[in-house]
Structure 1
Amino acid sequence: MFKKIAAAVALVAASASAFAVEPQPFYAGVDVGSTKIEGLDREGGYGAFLGYKFTPNVAIEGGYHRLADTEFSVGSARGDVTVDQIALSVIGSLPLSNGFDVYGRLGYNRIEADADFGGVSAKEHDSGALYGLGLGYSFSPVVHARLEVQKPASDTTRVLAGVGFRF
């Protein structure tokens, strides 16, 4: 009986140390935000991202984001506009104290706008540099939150809050 109890205690102790192991360098998450595009009202949006940390301070990240989805009217005619972003960025982070870090983003993105007005549809896209600054906080080695301001285009500013999970 003593051997069984000792074996169970040893197994629990060994499994507890497995939870303390640093997670894999991959991470994924979701975010919500507010986007200001010249000529449109401020719009809410959402997105998802996937990344890989090469070192604790350098990562590469790709993501898809819906920047805007809005209706507008001119007289009696109604229209819809959706704006989507696909991005690939390098992220450099600087750890602060108590789980906080500050980071910068530099990358490339493609923004695509789809408009439908009075039965006429149009698509427009623009590609270019993406940059941003953010503040992150690690709740645990697995869960990380962030607040960020991005500039995906010269006429567009995005403020977002997100949560990521490392695996």
Structure 2
Amino acid sequence: MKKIALCTAALATMAFSTPSMADGIYAGVGYNNLDLTSESAPGFKANVDLLSAILGYKINPNLAVEGRIGAGVNDDTFGASSLEVDSYMGANVLGTLPLSAHNWSLYGTLGYGYASFKGRANGVGFKDDKGSLNYGAGVMYSTGPYSVRAGYEALYDRGNSQADGFALTATYAF
């Protein structure tokens, strides 16, 4: 419920702002609802949430670089086992393609991230730390110094394991 309230407040604030996000530094927050899957464990699927702090630099109207540091906010249990994202760090290139609709654009991200997972299985704790390619795509709405993105992101995609799902990001340009 808090997440919905924060998103509604960000969208309402943006509606009363002026258009055109400036080049330069921006900061924001990100929310990811991730499905964790592994082909080495058929039928395995966990659903967790990740909150992140984002710091970026908009090089030009269509290209930015950004870093992200995040932590899982819940774990998912299945039987006697549980799994959560302990932490996440990533660096991305963000490309945007303006649409003819005012202030709307498509976005794509590509980068590298490092995820730390932890959990319990059969009473034994485990931790796994790995780096991998990350990528995503979706739509973005910008007005004044505010920007909101919604789409799909794969924050971890290595071998036969993946952490991907819905992403919502809100940023403010300085």
- TM-score, normalised to structure 2, is 0.72
Deviation for aligned residue 1:82: 2.4
Instruction: Confirm or deny that 1:61 pairs with 2:60.
Output: no
What RMSD, in angstroms, separates the aligned Cα atoms of the two structures? Answer: 2.6
Structure with higher Rg: it is 1
Instruction: Confirm or deny that 1:133 pairs with 2:137.
Output: yes
Instruction: Confirm or deny that 1:36 pairs with 2:35.
Output: yes
Deviation for aligned residue 1:164: 0.6
Distance in 2 between residues matched to 1:81 and 1:122, nearest whole Å:
9
Match of residue 111 from structure 2: 107
Distance 1:165-1:35 versus aligned 2 partners, 3 A rule: same
The 10-residue stretch of structure 1 (88-97 or 113-122) with the greater mean CA deviation from structure 2: 113-122
The 10-residue stretch of structure 1 (26-35 or 62-71) with the greater mean CA deviation from structure 2: 62-71
Aligned length: 145
Distance in 1 between residues matched to 2:25 and 2:129, nearest whole Å:
30
Structure 2 gap ranges (5+): 1-17, 38-43
Match of residue 95 from structure 1: 98
Which of 65, 69, 75 is the equivalent residue of 1:70? 75
- Report Cα offsets for 1:74-123 as digits up to 9, x if no partner: 4xxx5553213211001111111300011111100011112245764322
Distance in 2 between residues matched to 1:22 and 1:36, nearest whole Å:
32
